[in-house]
Homo-oligomer: A and B are copies of this chain.
Amino acid sequence: MNLEDLTQRLRDFAAARDWEPFHTPKNLVMALSGEVGELISLFQWLTPEEAAAWRTDPTMEFNVQDEIADVTLYLVRLADSLGIDLLAAANAKIDRNETRFPPVER
């Protein structure tokens, strides 16, 4: 299973539920933002140490993976609806960041 397969699976999932009319750019970016809000709320009251130990609590372990998954689903669906290749866009951005942020000299 790679990113293209996931994109196709989400496309089929939306089609089978007649959700395509709802999956406009504005709506999907709002949904993405809402899921990031749920993810951030899982970490908001934790100290840095508690946050790092998130896997020691089984409920937290499930919830973090569940919310990260939701963020991923909406990001992949948004990119697909916009016709953007996520991996290509991400790599092009790292290329630009290489120039903006030179590595530390050793």
A72 and B44: CB pair below 8 A?
Answer: no
Interface residues in A16-31 (C-beta closer than 8 Å to B): 16-18, 22, 24-27, 29-31
For chain A, the bracket of interface size reads 35 or more
SS of A interface (majority) = helix
CB of A88, distance to nearest CB on chain B (Å): 8
Q: Which chain B residue lies CB-closest to A30?
A: B44
How far, in whole Å, are A69 and B89 apart by their CA atoms in the complex? 5
How far, in whole Å, are A12 and B45 apart by their CA atoms in the complex? 19
CB of A57, distance to nearest CB on chain B (Å): 13
Which of B1, B16, B30, B75 sits near A30, CB closer than 8 Å?
B30
A38 and B39: CB pair below 8 A?
Answer: no
A18 and B104: CB pair below 8 A?
Answer: yes
B87 and A6: CB pair below 8 A?
Answer: yes
